[in-house]
Amino acid sequence: MNFEWIAMEHQRLHLIEEWPEGSYKEAALAAVHSTLEGLLRVHRPGLALPVCEICLNRLNRATLVEFPRLSQTEQPRTNLAA
C-alpha cells in the first residue's frame, strides 16, 4: 500500500510543480513533501521505491550538441531531386 501511496504523492508533486507561482502552490508543495517524508520514514528498506521517469530524465539530461555553422564561402548543396 505504501508503494502506491508514495508513487501517487510523487506524481502529485510533479503536477503541482507546473502550477503558477504563489502561496497556494507553496503550501501544496509543502504538504506533498511532508507526506512523502512520512511515508519514506516508515518504508521498509528492502522494498523497492517507485521509479519516476520525470526524475530520471532530469538526472540524465541530454547534452546540447551544436553543429558547426557553414562558413560564408561554403554554400549548402541544393542538388535535390524534385
**Low-confidence spans in the chain with pLDDT less than 70:** 1, 59-82
8 A C-beta contact, residue 12 and residue 32: yes
pLDDT at 24: 95
pTM value is 0.60
51, three cell numbers: 521509479
8 A C-beta contact, residue 9 and residue 35: yes
